[in-house]
């Protein structure tokens, strides 16, 4: 069983060094590490180039521009798949896994069998903030039909979606559902990708004993109120992607189109109440309308040439 780790980074060399060190020191060994750099300008490119020359197990992908987290994970997972990885472990550059985080995922009792190879789509770690509390941004979504654990690992919880901050993805799931959508750029690309996996019939599981820390400045979730009300914490471009992507994904849920239309009305009301500048109101509302009209399935790329592109 070959396991690859994919780390996506952009202008956070200090965080990247910490994440790489933590990944390299895992109690369960990795076969190779893929680092995707989104055209950093802080010295990361030089450090990564030198690293690739000294570590045979490290592959560095230097992007010609910033493709966002979505683009980074698209190209990183694609490279891991093409390199023969059976399982692909993803994380941001500000993710710090515990020394046994990967071991807890691999040895939880779920993967390793022939059954798991065709039924388990991904395993997700518990994501904490730097003080040890659960990170509000990376809480997985429980499956509606089944929330108890796997037969061989009753301590795990079945989930419908997870975060790219430490999930272990099955190669067979990637083969069937394709890669993350790079055009999402940032925000909710992992929601769409992991939902796509479970919607295809694979199971997702949350492994509580596997722990990582997500070293963001604050422990806040990416809620609708935050997207609308806090421009200082989330720049306008990122807020536009967040609204567009969330609306586009959720409109495919049951009664989704109606619910997302109501969501846009709520967003408009909040913008007016908060006395948001008119230009920002138009930008965010237009992002929501684009989400309602967006057919993102046309952007899905598959690893096999015989699959529909």
Tell me the pLDDT tens digit for each residue of 232-274: 545 889 989 999 999 999 999 999 999 999 989 998 998 899 8
Q: 128-134: long-range contacts at Cβ-Cβ below 8 A with a sequence spacing of 24 or more?
A: 128/211, 128/212, 128/213, 128/214, 129/213, 129/214, 129/215, 129/216, 129/219, 130/213, 130/215, 131/219, 133/219
- Please say whether the beta carbons of 117 and 203 come within 8 A: no
Tokens linked to 25: 């020191």
What is the rounded distance in angstroms from the CA atom of residue 219 to the CA atom of residue 216?
Answer: 7
Tokens linked to 228: 């609308």
Q: Quick one: CATH architecture of 3-219?
A: Alpha-Beta Complex (3.90)
| CB proximity list for 207: less than 8 A, separation 6 or greater | 104, 105, 108, 110, 123, 124, 125, 126, 153, 155, 156
What is the rounded distance in angstroms from the CA atom of residue 294 to the CA atom of residue 292?
Answer: 6
**pLDDT tens digit string along 97-110?**
999 999 999 998 78
pTM over 0.75: yes
Neighbouring CB atoms inside 10 A of 1's CB total: 11
pLDDT at 206 over 90: yes
With cut-offs at 50, 70 and 90, classify the pLDDT of residue 309: very low
pLDDT at 308 over 50: no
Give pLDDT, residue 108: 85
- Buried b / exposed e over 159-177, threshold 16 CB at 10 Å, is bbbbbbbbbbbbbbbbebb
Give pLDDT, residue 277: 87
Q: Which residues pair with 128 in a beta bridge?
A: 134, 213
**pLDDT tens digit string along 131-150?**
999 999 998 987 554 445 55
How much of the chain, in percent, has pLDDT values that exceed 70?
90
Beta strands in the chain (DSSP E): 3-9, 32-37, 58-62, 87-92, 95-97, 120-128, 141-142, 157-161, 167-170, 203-214
Residues in the chain: 309
- Please say whether the beta carbons of 241 and 287 come within 8 A: yes
Neighbouring CB atoms inside 10 A of 7's CB total: 23
Structural domain boundaries of the chain? 3-219, 224-296
**pLDDT tens digit string along 271-284?**
899 888 898 899 99
Mean of pLDDT over the chain: 91
């Amino acid at each position: 069983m070959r396991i690859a780790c994919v780390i996506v980074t952009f202008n956070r060399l200090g965080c990247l060094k910490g994440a790489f060190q933590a990944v390299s020191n895992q109690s369960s060994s990795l076969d190779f590490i893929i680092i995707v750099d989104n055209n950093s300008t802080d010295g990361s490119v030089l450090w990564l180039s030198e690293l690739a020359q000294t570590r045979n197990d490290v592959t560095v992908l230097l992007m010609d521009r910033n493709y966002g987290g979505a683009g980074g994970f698209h190209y990183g997972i694609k490279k891991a798949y093409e390199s023969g990885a059976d399982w692909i472990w993803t994380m941001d550059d500000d993710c710090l896994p515990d020394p046994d985080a990967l071991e807890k995922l691999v040895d939880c009792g779920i993967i390793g069998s022939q059954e798991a190879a065709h039924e388990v789509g991904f395993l997700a770690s518990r994501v904490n903030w730097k003080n040890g509390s659960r990170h509000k941004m990376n809480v997985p979504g429980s499956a509606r039909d089944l929330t108890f654990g796997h037969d061989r690992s009753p301590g795990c919880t079945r989930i419908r979606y997870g975060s790219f901050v430490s999930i272990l993805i099955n190669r067979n799931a990637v083969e069937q559902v394709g890669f993350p959508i790079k055009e999402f750029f940032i925000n909710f690309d992992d929601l769409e990708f992991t939902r796509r996996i479970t919607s295809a019939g694979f199971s997702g599981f949350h492994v509580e004993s596997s722990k990582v820390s997500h070293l963001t400045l604050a422990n806040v979730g990416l809620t609708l109120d935050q997207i609308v009300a806090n421009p200082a914490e989330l720049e306008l471009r990122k807020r536009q992607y967040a609204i567009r992507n969330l609306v586009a994904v959720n409109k495919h849920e049951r009664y989704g189109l109606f619910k997302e239309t109501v969501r846009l009305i709520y967003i408009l009301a909040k913008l007016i109440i908060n006395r948001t500048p008119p230009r920002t109101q138009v930008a965010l509302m237009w992002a929501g309308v684009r989400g309602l009209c967006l057919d993102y399935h046309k952007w899905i790329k598959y690893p096999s040439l015989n699959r529909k592109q």
